[in-house]
């Protein structure tokens, strides 16, 4: 019997988690938890933190993500790594499409306690899935292309953005915790699939160099 790769098992588990979470969200079973998490975050509200998180949350917006992608294009072109760059672009676009489709199906209204302007539906979080896929795909590339201290620093900064952007969405009350969790799950499913294709491509490139 052919052994099932662990990546496919992880994808299956994450899909089950996503559908289970969506079911409980639709039932309203997660409402109390969502409110409690927001209350915890809003209790640490202060002007310096709000200013920092406002900048960070805008980095996860459509304009913010496009600007970052354009800025990243410079070092990728310089290092002749456009074949790697394409994964970041494909991931972000795929995430946005999937997110919009799910939003139109679930049609969850945004929290009543939001304190910055934000239109559209709530579930799942667009800023979060963009952050997970943008910085997550960069981490995959970094781990395959960099080494030493630069690799550690770059991975840390990318990981920090993957955490802070989702937190900022809850902090400003424009998303529930469960909106953010749904996007994180979807994002990691896409990243696992990306890593499968990326690993194959990089392995083929190494074999070509050896030849």
Share of the chain above pLDDT 90, in %: 74
- The predicted pLDDT at position 81 comes to 83
Span 37-63, average pLDDT: 93
Going by C-alpha positions, the residue among 139, 13, 146, 162 that lies closest to residue 87 is 139
pLDDT at 1: 41
pTM of structure: 0.90
Contact 183, 163 (CB under 8 A): no
């Amino acid at each position: 019997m052919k052994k099932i790769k662990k990546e496919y098992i992880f994808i299956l588990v994450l899909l089950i988690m996503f559908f289970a979470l969506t079911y409980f969200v639709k039932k309203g079973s997660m409402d109390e938890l969502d409110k409690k998490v927001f209350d915890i975050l809003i209790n640490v509200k202060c002007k310096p933190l709000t200013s920092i998180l406002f900048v960070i949350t805008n980095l996860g917006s459509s304009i913010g993500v496009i600007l970052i992608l354009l800025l990243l294009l410079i070092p990728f072109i310089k290092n002749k790594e456009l074949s790697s760059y394409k994964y970041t672009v494909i991931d972000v676009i795929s995430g946005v499409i999937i997110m919009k489709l799910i939003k139109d199906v679930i049609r969850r209204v945004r929290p009543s306690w939001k304190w910055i302007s934000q239109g559209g539906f709530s579930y799942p979080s667009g800023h979060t899935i963009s952050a997970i896929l943008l910085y997550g795909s960069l981490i995959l590339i970094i781990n395959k292309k960099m080494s030493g201290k630069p690799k550690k620093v770059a991975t840390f900064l990318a990981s920090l953005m993957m955490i802070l952007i989702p937190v900022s969405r809850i902090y400003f009350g424009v998303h529930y915790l469960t909106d953010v969790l749904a996007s994180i799950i979807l994002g990691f499913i896409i990243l696992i699939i990306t890593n499968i294709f990326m690993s194959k491509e990089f392995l083929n490139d190494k074999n070509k160099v050896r030849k």
